[in-house]
Chain A
Amino acid sequence: MMLGKTAGGLFWMFRYLERAENTARLLEAGWRIALTRTGEAENEWQSVITTAGLAQQFNAAHDEYDAPEVIDFLLRGKTNPTSVLASLAAARSNARLVRTALSSEVWEATNECWMEAKALLARPVSERTLYDTLARIKFRSAVVRGALHGTMLRNDIFSFARLGTFIERGDNTARILDVKYYVLLPATALVGTRIDNAQWENILRSVSAEQSYHWLNGGQTSPMGIAEFLILDRRMPRSLAFCCQKIGENLGQLAQEYGTRHPSHDLADRMCARMNENTIQSIFEAGLHEFLTDSILDMGQIASLIETDYRFYR
C-alpha cells in the first residue's frame, strides 16, 4: 500500500534530480562551444536557454546572452524556478516528503547532494571553477541513482522513481533535438563544414553521448546517424526509444503489482509502438520537427495521466 502523495513525491523527486543533471550537461556543452567558437557563443547560449524551456524567464531579466549571466541563471538564478539549485532543493524537499519510502542510503545521498550543491552554488560560480562544479553535481546525482539501484526494493516505489526519471529524460532529449533539428536536416546542412560538425558534436555532448556515438560509428558523424542514435537506438540510455521502453516497463510493473491497467498504459503502448514502427528515414520523410513535437507532447501527457491514474493529488 502506498499513498498517492508518496507516489507523486517519488515521481517528482526523480524528475527534479534528472532535470538538475540535464541542465548541468547542457551547460557544460554550451560552455564548450562558447570556449572553442567564440563567434557563435551568443547563439549557443540562446539555444541552451531555449532547450531548458526558460526563454521567457531569462529574457524578462536579461538583454543579451552573456556567458556569466546565462551560467548564473541556469545554476542558481533567483527567477529561474528550475535552476540546478532550485531543482536539487525541490528533489530534496520531495525526498523529505517521501522519506518513509526511501532507503536511508538514498535519502542521505540526496541530502548530501543538496548540501554540497548549496555550498558550491552559494555564490556565483566563476568560469574557472565551472567545470569542477558541474562535475561535482553530476557525481552527487550519480550517487543518488547508485543508491537507488543498490538499496531499493523493486516494487511500486522503484517504478514511480524510474517513471519520473525517464519522462524527464525523454522530454529533455526531445527538446535538445528539437531546438537543433534544423542543423540535422539534409536540406540546410552543409555537410562536412566545420560549423555543422561542431553543432553535431554539441548535440551529442549535451546528452553526454559523444564518446559512445563515435565508438559505435567508428568516427563517422552524420546528422541522420546522430538523430537515429538519439531517437531510435535502444542501446543509448538517453534515447527516446530507450526512455519510452523504460516508461512502458515501469508502468507494466505497476499494472502487474496492482492488478489494474489505466489510460497511461495505453499511451505508453502507443509511444513504444511509434518508436518500433519508425525508421530514421520515415521520421525524416514525415518531418523530424513534427516527430519531436509529438514526442514532447506525449511525455507531457503521460505524466499527467500517471498523476491521475495513481492519485498523486486527488
Chain B
Amino acid sequence: MSSEEKPFDEMLERGVAPRGPYKAYYEWFQGENLKHLRRKSADAEAFFRRIGITFNVYGQDEADERLIPFDIVPRIIAADEWARLERGIEQRVRAINAFLHDIYHRQEILRAGRVPREIIAGNEAFLPEMIGVDPPGGVYTHIVGVDLVRTGPDEFFVLEDNARTPSGVSYMLENRETMLQMFPELFSRLKVRPVSRYPQRLRRSLAECAPPGVATANPVVAVLTPGIHNSAYFEHSFLADQMGAELVESGDLRIENGRVAMRTTQGYEPIDVLYRRVDDAFLDPLTFNPDSLLGVPGIMDVYRAGNITIANAPGTGIADDKALYSYMPDIVEFYTGETALLKNVPTWRCSEPDALAYVLENLKELVVKEVHGSGGYGMLVGPAASRKELAAFESKLRARPANYIAQPTLALSTVPILAKSGLAPRHVDLRPFVLVSPERITMMPGGLTRVALKKGSLVVNSSQGGGTKDTWVLGD
C-alpha cells in the first residue's frame, strides 16, 4: 500500500478496458464530442449558480459565495460492491449508537478495558451533561456520514465517521438533479438507483424519533441553522424546504411551558424534533458556551425532561473523535459480537511513545492529522510536504504528541474527471449518508463523491480545492 504503487482506477483497468460498472458509460462517452461535453460542464456551473448552491468561505467577504466545482463524469458503483458497503456501514452505525449509549451510561467498554479511560475523560467531545440522559427512541446519531476511501477492487477503508452534523447531502441531491437534466439519455441506458427520496426519508426517520409524549402522528420538525452567513446555509434551507420543515434560528426560539417553541405569525408553537446544524458547544448557553448566540437557553433542560428530540444528540462527537478512531474495530466487535466488516486505516496514536518514535522516523511517508481538526486543516501529507513543513510538524509532534494521529498515505482510488484533454484520473473519496431511527437504518444508494481536482492531490476537501461528482449505484 505504498504511495509508489499505481493507484486503483475505478473506471479503467490497466488504463484501457473499462471495469464492469463503467462499461455502458464508457461506451457512451466514446461516442460523445469533447467540446459538447465541456459546454455541458459550463451549463452545470450556471445551473448551480442560479439555484444558489454556493457556500460562504469563512473569513472572506460576505458577497463572496463560492461554488464547489462539479465534475460531470459520474462515479459508478456496482450493485454487489454497494451491498457489501451497506452491510459494513450498517454494522458500524449500530455499533456507534451502542457505544454512545454505553459511554453515557454504564461505560462497560471502559470497564472491560477495550478503550482507555483517558481518551474519554480528557476529551472535549465527551459531554458529562449527557451522562444518564436517554435520548428519545434511544437514538444518538440520527444522521451519519461515513467517509470511505478505496484502494482496490475490494479494498474499502473507513477514513472517518461523521457522527455530529455531517454535511454535503444537498450536493448529493443537486448533483443528481443536474445529471438528470444534462444527460437524460444516460439514465435510460444505465439502471441508476434513485437518491431523490432522501428528504422524505429524513423526515420519516426524524419523526420516528419524536419524544414518546408527542401525541400527534405528524410531529413538528424544525431545522436549526446558525443563519444565513453559515457556510452550509444552502443545505440547511434546502433540507428544510424539501422536508417541509421550518428553518429556524436562535432568535426564533424560546422555552415556553417546558417546550422549545418557535415564534410564528400567530404566536409561539412547540417543536417536537429539532434537526440542529449547530455544534454542541453553541446549543445551549446555559449549559455549554455561555457566549453562544446560536443556541436556545434552556434547551438542555427540555431535552433532559424528554420533551424534545435533538438530532444528532449532544455529545455524539465522542464517537467520531480521531483519538477514538483507532479503537473502532474493537468497538464494533464489543457491541455487535462480530468482526468489523469495514476496515479501519492503520493508525499510529502518537500519544504512545513507540508509535511516536515510528511516526517521527517515517514522517515523509505518513499522513499526520490533528485529533480535533477537520476540513483538511492542520494536516500533514508527508509525501507532498516540503522539508520546512516536515520540520515544523516534527516539532509540533514532539511538543504535543497526544494531539496527533498518523496514518499511511493510502493510494486512494481514482475516477476520471473531464479535463481539457479528455478523461484524466483524480483521487476520490465517498461519503454515504445513513439515517437511524428506532424502526430502521436507512441508507441512500449513493452519497457524496469528493474529488481532488488537482493532479496527484490527495486532499478532497472543498476548502482545499476539491470538487464533487455524482455517485451512481447501479441496480441489479
Contacts of A104 in B (CB 8 A): 51
Contacts of B63 in A (CB 8 A): 89
B220-249, CB < 8 A from A? 228, 233, 237, 240-241, 246-249
Interface size class of B (residues with CB under 8 A): 20 to 34
With A258-B266, A310-B265, A311-B267 as contacts: A3 and B241 at CB distance below 8 Å: no
Contact of A5 among B52, B251, B267, B269 (CB under 8 A): B251
CA–CA, A107 to B52, complex, Å? 9
Check: A216 CB closer than 8 A to any chain B CB: no
How many A residues have CB within 8 A of the partner chain? 25
CA–CA, A93 to B229, complex, Å? 10
Interface centre among B52, B251, B252, B267 (most CB of A within 10 A): B52
CA–CA, A101 to B459, complex, Å? 37
With A97-B228, A100-B237, A100-B246 as contacts: A2 and B264 at CB distance below 8 Å: yes
A63-121, CB < 8 A from B? 89, 93, 96-97, 99-100, 104, 107-108, 111-112, 115
* Cβ of A113 to closest chain B Cβ, rounded Å: 11
Check: B50 CB closer than 8 A to any chain A CB: yes
Contacts of A97 in B (CB 8 A): 228
Q: Is the CB of B265 within 8 A of A156?
A: yes
CA–CA, A5 to B268, complex, Å? 12
Q: Is the CB of B265 within 8 A of A311?
A: yes
Q: Is the CB of B269 within 8 A of A99?
A: no
Q: Is the CB of A96 within 8 A of B52?
A: yes
Check: A17 CB closer than 8 A to any chain B CB: no
Contact of A7 among B246, B247, B265 (CB under 8 A): B265
With A311-B264, A311-B265 as contacts: A100 and B247 at CB distance below 8 Å: yes
Q: Is the CB of B233 within 8 A of A5?
A: no
Q: Is the CB of A3 within 8 A of B228?
A: no
Check: A128 CB closer than 8 A to any chain B CB: no
Contacts of B49 in A (CB 8 A): 111, 115
A225-260, CB < 8 A from B? 254, 258, 260
Q: Is the CB of B237 within 8 A of A5?
A: no
Contact of A4 among B50, B52, B252 (CB under 8 A): B252
Q: Is the CB of A96 within 8 A of B233?
A: yes
With A93-B228, A96-B237, A100-B237 as contacts: A3 and B263 at CB distance below 8 Å: yes
Q: Is the CB of B237 within 8 A of A3?
A: no
CA–CA, A254 to B262, complex, Å? 19
Q: Is the CB of A311 within 8 A of B263?
A: yes
Q: Which residue of B lies closest to A99 (CB)?
A: B237
Q: Which residue of A lies closest to B47 (CB)?
A: A108
Contacts of B251 in A (CB 8 A): 5
Mask: chain A, 187-209; 1 = CB below 8 Å from B; 0 = not = 00000000000000000000000
CA–CA, A97 to B241, complex, Å? 12
CA–CA, A100 to B243, complex, Å? 10
A-B contact pairs, 17 of them (CB 8 A): A3-B248, A3-B252, A4-B264, A89-B63, A93-B228, A99-B237, A99-B247, A100-B240, A100-B241, A107-B51, A108-B50, A111-B49, A111-B52, A115-B50, A260-B266, A311-B266, A314-B263
Apart from A3-B252, A3-B264: 12 A-B pairs, beta carbons within 8 A: A3-B247, A3-B265, A4-B263, A96-B52, A97-B228, A99-B241, A99-B247, A100-B247, A104-B51, A107-B52, A111-B51, A258-B266
